[in-house]
Amino acid sequence: MALVSSAELITQAQREHYAIGAFNIENMEMAQAVIAAGTELRSPLLFQTTPGTLKYADPRMFYAIVKTLADEAPIPVALHLDHGDSFARSCEAIRAGYTSIMIDGSKLPFEENIALTKRVVEVASSSNIPVEGELGTIGGKEDSHEVKDKDALYTNVDQAEEFVDRTGCSFLAVAIGTAHGFYKGTPKLDFVRIEQIAKRVSVPLVLHGGSGIPDEDVQHAIRLGMSKVNFATELRWYFTQACRKVLTDGEIFDPKKYGSAGRDAVRDFVKQKIVVCGSGGKA
Ligand SMILES: [Zn+2]
């Protein structure tokens, strides 16, 4: 199948009350792992890369990898810019062939966040590319940006409605107590807030910081209206742990040896999360 717009996948998930897993990839092996998991479970899915990853390698490279995998796979997939940090970066990803964009203006004042998001929506919509906006601040570390817990502001319900109306964004990432990176202690999700936002906002909601949230909490959040769930930290962790284990043998120097171990570990993790999201068999 070809790469598709994420809107098709996420809107169907919203209608049928499951979620699309969005998996951050850093290299070819992680991309192969994600497609293998999705193919095995017949699940639609999203690949995504952060700006940090795109500084490591050009978006055209990730596009080429994901497009090659998508063309040969029996499942629909989309390629998404995660936490787009500027108008220019969003345009760069669109030019490279990305089929889904997030612009993260959540660190800006409300009006400036609206203005930036709206500008990206205007450009992306001319190519039929959906845009995810973010309101409120998700804690922890995403890329190089660190949000201290005390600064982490939950999404305001009234503002969420106004934000979606005025920006025309296709999906909304909300801050409801999740964080990026690994959690210290068990995270407390604000389920009441998810429900309130979902009642007021018609677009699908996005749960960030999916790594380390207990599976039952993720599923509860999905039942309340989350239609896209992001997983990043754990993919990196499983990949590296598996490589490290192989590399304890000092004789091994072939990247294919440890790369394939990392790939298998990520595939198994992604399969588990597809089951949690309930998207298996939906492709
Ligand atoms: Zn995020």
The tens digit of pLDDT for each residue in 255-267 reads 999 999 999 999 9
C-alpha to C-alpha distances, 274 to 51, 69, 160, 199, 231, nearest whole angstrom: 25, 18, 28, 25, 11
Q: Residue 272: what pLDDT?
A: 98
pLDDT in tens, 102-135: 999 999 999 999 999 999 999 999 999 999 999 9
What are the residue ranges spanned by the domains of the chain? Answer: 6-277
Distance of CA 125 from the midpoint of ligand 1 (Å) = 22
Distance of CA 44 from the midpoint of ligand 1 (Å) = 20
> Mean of the pLDDT values across residues 47-64?
98
Q: Give pTM, 2 decimals.
A: 0.94
C-alpha to C-alpha distances, 200 to 137, 138, 226, nearest whole angstrom: 19, 20, 13
Distance of alpha carbon 84 from alpha carbon 89, whole angstroms: 6
> Mean of the pLDDT values across residues 59-66?
98
Distance of CA 242 from the midpoint of ligand 1 (Å) = 24
pLDDT class for 141, splitting at 50, 70, 90? low
C-alpha to C-alpha distances, 49 to 57, 85, 98, 117, nearest whole angstrom: 10, 12, 10, 19
Yes or no: is domain 6-277 CATH 3.20.20.70?
A: yes
pLDDT at 77 over 50: yes
> In terms of pLDDT, which residue wins out, 150 or 22?
22
- With CA atoms as reference, report the closest residue to 12 among 34, 45, 41: 45
**Annotation says 165 is catalytic:** no
Q: Residue 218: what pLDDT?
A: 96
Q: Residue 59: what pLDDT?
A: 98
Q: Residue 261: what pLDDT?
A: 98
Distance of CA 139 from the midpoint of ligand 1 (Å) = 9
pLDDT in tens, 159-213: 999 999 999 999 999 999 888 888 777 788 999 999 999 999 999 999 998 888 9
pLDDT at 148 over 60: no
Mean pLDDT of the chain: 94
Q: Residue 177: what pLDDT?
A: 87
Q: Residue 152: what pLDDT?
A: 54
Q: Residue 211: what pLDDT?
A: 82
Q: Residue 182: what pLDDT?
A: 81
Distance of CA 209 from the midpoint of ligand 1 (Å) = 6
Q: Is 189 exposed, middle or buried (0-12, 13-18, 19+ CB in 10 A)?
A: buried
> Mean of the pLDDT values across residues 78-95?
98
Q: Residue 150: what pLDDT?
A: 45
Distance of CA 282 from the midpoint of ligand 1 (Å) = 24
Select which of 58, 71, 82, 249 is catalytic. Answer: 82
Distance of CA 208 from the midpoint of ligand 1 (Å) = 5
> Mean of the pLDDT values across residues 245-250?
98
pLDDT in tens, 24-55: 999 999 999 999 999 999 999 999 999 999 99
